[in-house]
Structures are given as structure tokens and as C-alpha cells.
Structure 1
């Protein structure tokens, strides 16, 4: 069974991002993130961590390359993308579920620090934008005249 939803999560990068390139030249980035809820314990009045959820994150093309240059293990991030809950069975017969997110957008969570943005102007950025917009759309008309739409 495969379930898919769009989600936004706030998480901590749990593994070093790993970048690879497919035989067709597509950049693919994979890493894992952890989320947990902090809440006040009613009896002690202290803040405690709730259970940890782990997600496998994948990003493609320009997003993969930019994320590789921007994130390290331990960074606090915001991720928007497509969540898929996947059932699996290992060779030893162990069954389980995996929570995978195909990222559409990734950024630092500025609640925990500052960030500096550097715009990347490439043909790949334009290709990424069109992929997520389903090709040329009305959004092309919304770009201000004289600006680089590939950003």
C-alpha cells in the first residue's frame, strides 16, 4: 500500500546529505531527518522530548545540488514535499513502514539561527521551476519584467 500527501515538517538533519548523479545526469540527494515534539511534563513542570519520528528525504536536480552546499548534520530545517508511507519487508522477513519525503523545497529554520541566501542562476534552476509548474504556465507571466526567471 502506498499513501501520498503534501506535508511541511520542521526537523533536524540527522545524517550527512549524500549527493549522487544518475546515469542520465540527474543529481539526487538523500539524507534523514528527525522530528520530535517538546512539551511540558504536567507533574514536574519541565520540558521533555516526545517520541522521535524519522524521515528519509530525497531531493533532485538543482534542489539537490543547492541543498548539498547548504546543509550539514545537526541543522534545523523546514521541508515541504510529498510524503509517502511505504511498507517494506527485509530479506530476513522483518516488516515495517518507511516515511519518505520527496522534497520540493528545503530551507533553514530561522528560529534556531541565521542564514545567508545566494541566488543560483542556471539552466537547471529554470528546468526545476518548469517541472514543478507542469511546464510553461500562467506563473511565467507573473515574473517581473527584466528579472531572471531561472532564479
Structure 2
């Protein structure tokens, strides 16, 4: 069985191309991160991020074109595909891709916009709190 399940953040806007008979193909990178931790001896293990090449076909590609954007958190289910090609210099290149069969949007535009607004408000509060012209002595 060849099955992959990923939850991550979209790295850039999907690149959608149309071929014969309105056949859509979407491609975009997806970042998954394993959180860092501290070992019992105190050694810090940092976060580790992997980048995955996601490929979607037909209707799923059209959904990605409309609703998936850079920074969105999504769930992708599919299968691994390995392939190779020769580049312009004749060098053999190897590619690993996830051929998506299913996708779920875990963040919405509203969520993303709300997070940005909350972060901006938090920054404003920090600036106000650090204001040195305050008449209070402490």
C-alpha cells in the first residue's frame, strides 16, 4: 500500500495549468514541521521542517486554484511518486511528489485574516506598554 497523510502549511500559491479537455493540474509546496523538544540530559532538539511537492489533478486542482492560498493550513491525503528527468544541462534530476487524492482546508481566509489582525493589535499594545512618556513613576 502507498498512502501518505500530511497536515501542513502551503508554501506558495498553487501553480495551476490546464491541458487538453480542460484537464487541470495544480502544484504547490507544503511544509510540515516536527516540533523541537528537550532531552532528559538538557540537550535541545530544534524544530524540523520538511517540504513536500503536492500535485492535484482535475476537480481537486480546480478547488485548490479557488480556495488554497499561501500560508493556509491543509490536510492532504494521497500517494508517493518518485520520478526522474534530465535537465537542460543533461543532468539527471530526481523528484519526490505527493499525488493528492483528498484535501481538507483546515484554515479559512477569515482565520488567517483574524490571526494577522490579532498579531497587529498585539504589536500595538506592546508599543503602547513601552511608551516612556507615561506620567506614572513605575
Provide the TM-score with structure 2 as the length reference: 0.64
Q: How many residues align?
A: 108
**Within 2, Cα distance between the matches of 1:68 and 1:28?**
9
**Within 1, Cα distance between the matches of 2:100 and 2:62?**
13
Once the two structures are TM-superposed, the CA of residue 38 in structure 1 deviates from its matched residue by: 0.8
Once the two structures are TM-superposed, the CA of residue 97 in structure 1 deviates from its matched residue by: 3.5
Q: 1:12 to 1:26 in 2, by over 3 A?
A: same
Q: CA RMSD in A?
A: 2.7
Give a deviation string over 1:43-101, Cα, whole Å, max 9, x none: 266x8311x32221111121111121111111111100111133455344655542201
Once the two structures are TM-superposed, the CA of residue 15 in structure 1 deviates from its matched residue by: 1.5
**Within 2, Cα distance between the matches of 1:89 and 1:103?**
25
**Within 2, Cα distance between the matches of 1:54 and 1:19?**
19
Gaps of 5+ in 1: 116-151
Once the two structures are TM-superposed, the CA of residue 105 in structure 1 deviates from its matched residue by: 0.7
Gaps of 5+ in 2: 113-138
Give a deviation string over 1:6-25, Cα, whole Å, max 9, x none: 21111210111122210222
Once the two structures are TM-superposed, the CA of residue 41 in structure 1 deviates from its matched residue by: 2.7
3-state SS, counterpart of residue 36 of structure 2: strand
3-state SS, counterpart of residue 73 of structure 1: coil
3-state SS, counterpart of residue 15 of structure 1: coil
**Within 1, Cα distance between the matches of 2:33 and 2:82?**
18
- Could you say which residue in structure 1 is the equivalent of 2:28? 31
1:86 to 83, 87, 90: 83
Provide the TM-score with structure 1 as the length reference: 0.59
